[in-house]
């Protein structure tokens, strides 16, 4: 009897409950994403953030140039563009008009991350003939196939089987000194198809806290030193039979659980508590079930494990509630409600996570990418909600992203958000540029398509052309920031009584302009007022100053710069 067939008859062997720090988790020792990341010397980590239910991308990324059409198609849920205290946040006035978007007003933290070069948005991501089904759509995204494919494995499981056989087989060869930790960890109560490998079943364990899990495993009868093994080993007479081998394999899972439990508990302790405060609740109006932030504890745990030395390469965290057929917004205020709370939860939790990684010295190693089975329809329904659609945006977070907006805003005259990029193109580029996977492996063993090095061709199998999403080498985001926020030289300089100072802000900002003398003594405040995104000119009268060297300094939120004048 084959091991897989045997396990089908013993379901309990396939899933042993397990959580850490109160968070349900799944340990995938044969997680394909993780194996693939181990092929080089890279210590980079990939976080997959699942938006369960199908996110409404149009109320996340509001089309600026087509706003009137947007409003006409969904007037009962549309986010205001102006004349409101809670209005769409202009993301980036330097982008081409066709790409300009506004963020939901509760995505302020995400706007801040974007302005520091930590966020990328990809518009119109889907797959051909998207059928709008939760279960089928999720399977397609996770298996890495098309609408008519039915693969039994995740999209990187195939690569793992072909390329990393030398790492050994699970559970026989793991954990080991080279990889003492689970190669992949999934938060939640089920193992997603993306982590499956044909002919190999991931293992899952569950508990309430690391100490409790370690104690629970230690108390299992099978780990007690007894003359007769109470785990139920078969008599010696059937030794080396298929039954003997299969039962020994199942019992070995207990030992694996013990080794992983002890190791994860230790790195959890070594990681220490976060010095960054993670958000807990949504501060405005929303249904009771939407108030608490479900991402904070998951992301906090990931940061702590990594800080403690955990070598796990891929984590999956989850947030649900996106199937918003009704009451997506409050009837009295379209900027509030369940979807608003979700946008706040993602933005604020990811901001705290990035800050936590930075404090712990981990920011260069971690990239987060979202996944959601489909988007929502362009038009709203009569229940203040949206129905199943097709395309939608993907968000990427981290110091290693190529910040910006990829693609154009959707065509508001259509019923559905049209596909601009196949989802496999997005993930192929992340694997290549972030996880440093060989291009041929991606093409031949993962997605069975062509990774185009030049222009997109109008032919099947060409949706894997290069995209500017992540950085092979992290060089910083100074150029990105300075092209959106800057302080110009004053004119004329030397100053003759009056001068003009040119500056740009990329967000609604309170700009404080101050003047200092050459010794650093504060002379005066030249300006203190709020400005809309764009370029501005400040005219100043300096006729009363004695001649000499002065420094004028601009502060606009996270941006500060200074220059000389005479």
What pLDDT digit, counting tens, does each position of 43-78 carry?
889 999 999 999 999 999 999 999 999 999 999 999
DSSP track, 363-415:
TTTEEEEEE-S--B-SS--TTS---B-S-EEEEEESTTB--EEES----TTSS
Per-residue tokens: 470: 């992540």
| Residues 536 and 555: beta-carbon distance below 8 Å | no
Q: At what angle do helices 296-307 and 338-359 cross, to 10 degrees?
A: 10
- 507 or 410, greater pLDDT: 410
Rounded to the nearest 5 degrees, what angle is found at the Cα of 411, between the Cα atoms of 408 and 416? 115
pLDDT level of residue 9 (50, 70, 90 thresholds)? very low
**Which sequence spans correspond to the domains of the chain?**
15-446, 485-565
- 54 or 40, greater pLDDT: 54
**Is it true that the peptide bond before 492 is cis, omega within 30 degrees of 0?**
yes
CATH class name, domain 485-565: mainly beta
Q: Say which residues have a Cβ less than 8 Å from residue 391's Cβ, sequence separation at least 6.
A: 57, 124, 125, 126, 130, 374, 375, 410, 416, 417, 418, 419, 420
R_g over Cα of the chain: 27
| Residues 261 and 223: beta-carbon distance below 8 Å | no
Task: For residue 209, give the nearest of 282, 304, 281 by alpha carbon.
Answer: 304
Element (H, E) at 248: helix 242-271
Per-residue tokens: 423: 């989802």
d(CA 180, CA 408): 44
First to last CA, the chain: 88
Dihedral in degrees, nearest 10, Cα atoms 356, 358, 362, 365: 110
Q: At what angle do helices 242-271 and 296-307 cross, to 10 degrees?
A: 90
Residue 409 backbone dihedrals phi, psi, to 5 degrees: -65, 150
| Residues 193 and 143: beta-carbon distance below 8 Å | yes
d(CA 248, CA 233): 8
d(CA 11, CA 28): 17
Average pLDDT over residues 109-131: 95
Instruction: Report percent pLDDT > 90 for the chain.
Output: 56
Instruction: Report percent pLDDT > 70 for the chain.
Output: 77
Lowest mean pLDDT of 216-220, 237-241, 514-518, name the range: 216-220
What is the β-pairing status of strands 404-406 and 392-397?
Answer: unpaired
- 508 or 104, greater pLDDT: 104
Hey, which residues does 261 pair with through a beta bridge?
none
* pLDDT > 80? residue 209: no
* Residue-wise pLDDT tens digits, 467-494: 989 988 887 788 899 889 999 999 999 9
Determine the pLDDT at residue 431: 86
Hey, which residues does 371 pair with through a beta bridge?
50
| Residues 99 and 395: beta-carbon distance below 8 Å | no
Residue 238 gets which letter from DSSP?
A: G
Per-residue tokens: 329: 């917004």
* Residue-wise pLDDT tens digits, 301-329: 999 999 999 888 888 899 999 999 999 99
- 238 or 455, greater pLDDT: 238
DSSP track, 35-55:
HHHTTSS---EEEEEEETT--
d(CA 218, CA 229): 15
Element (H, E) at 4: helix 3-8
pTM of the entire structure?
A: 0.85
| Residues 154 and 142: beta-carbon distance below 8 Å | yes
- 363 or 31, greater pLDDT: 363
């Amino acid at each position: 009897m084959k091991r897989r067939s045997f396990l089908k008859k013993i379901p309990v062997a396939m899933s042993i409950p397990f959580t850490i720090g109160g968070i349900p988790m799944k340990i995938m020792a044969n997680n394909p994403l993780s194996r693939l990341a181990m092929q080089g010397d890279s210590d980079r980590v990939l976080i997959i953030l699942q938006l369960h239910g199908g996110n409404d991308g149009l109320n996340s990324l509001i089309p600026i140039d087509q706003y009137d059409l947007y409003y006409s198609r969904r007037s009962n849920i549309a986010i205001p563009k102006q004349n409101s205290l809670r209005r769409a946040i202009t993301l980036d006035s330097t982008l081409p008009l066709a790409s300009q978007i506004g963020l939901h007003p509760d995505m302020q933290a995400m706007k801040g991350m974007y302005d520091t070069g930590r966020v990328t948005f990809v518009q119109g991501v889907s797959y051909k003939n998207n059928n709008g089904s939760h279960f089928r759509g999720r399977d397609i995204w996770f298996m890495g196939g098309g609408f008519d494919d039915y693969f039994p494995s995740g999209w990187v499981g195939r690569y793992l089987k072909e390329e990393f056989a030398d790492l050994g087989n699970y559970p026989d060869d793991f954990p080991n000194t080279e990889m003492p930790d689970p190669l992949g960890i999934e938060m939640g109560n089920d193992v997603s198809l993306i982590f499956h490998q044909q002919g190999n079943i991931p293992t899952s364990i569950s508990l309430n806290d690391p100490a409790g899990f370690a104690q629970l495993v230690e108390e299992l009868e099978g780990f007690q030193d007894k003359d007769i093994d109470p785990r139920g080993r078969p008599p010696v007479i059937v030794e080396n039979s298929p039954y003997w081998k299969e039962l020994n394999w199942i019992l070995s899972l207990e030992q694996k659980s013990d080794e992983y439990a002890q190791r994860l508990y230790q790195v959890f302790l070594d990681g220490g508590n976060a010095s960054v405060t993670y958000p807990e609740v949504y501060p405005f109006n929303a249904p009771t079930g939407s108030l608490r932030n479900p991402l904070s504890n998951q992301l906090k745990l990931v940061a702590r494990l990594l800080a403690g030395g955990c070598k796990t390469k891929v984590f999956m965290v989850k947030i649900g509630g996106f199937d918003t057929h009704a009451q997506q917004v409050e009837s009295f205020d379209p900027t509030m409600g369940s979807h608003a709370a979700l946008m706040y939860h993602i933005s604020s939790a990811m901001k705290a996570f990035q800050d936590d990684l930075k404090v712990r010295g981990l920011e260069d190693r971690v990239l987060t990418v979202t996944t959601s089975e489909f988007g929502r329809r362009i038009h709203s329904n009569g229940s203040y909600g949206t129905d199943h659609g097709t395309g939608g945006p993907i968000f990427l977070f981290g110091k290693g992203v190529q910040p910006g907006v990829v693609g154009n805003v959707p065509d508001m005259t259509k019923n559905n958000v049209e596909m601009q990029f196949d989802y496999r193109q997005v993930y192929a580029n992340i694997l290549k540029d972030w996880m440093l996977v060989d291009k041929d492996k991606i093409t031949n063993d993962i997605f069975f398509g062509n990774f185009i090095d030049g222009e997109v061709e109008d032919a099947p199998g060409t949706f894997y052309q290069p995209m500017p999403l992540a950085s092979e080498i992290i060089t910083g985001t100074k150029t990105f920031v300075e092209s959106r926020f800057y302080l110009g030289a004053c004119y004329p300089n030397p100053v003759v009584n009056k001068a003009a100072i040119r500056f740009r802000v990329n967000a609604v900002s309170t700009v404080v302009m101050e003047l200092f003398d050459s010794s650093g003594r504060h002379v005066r405040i030249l300006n203190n007022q709020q400005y809309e995104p764009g370029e501005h000119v400040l005219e100043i009268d300096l006729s009363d100053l004695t001649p000499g060297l002065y420094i004028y300094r601009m502060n606009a939120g996270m941006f500060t710069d200074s220059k000389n004048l005479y």
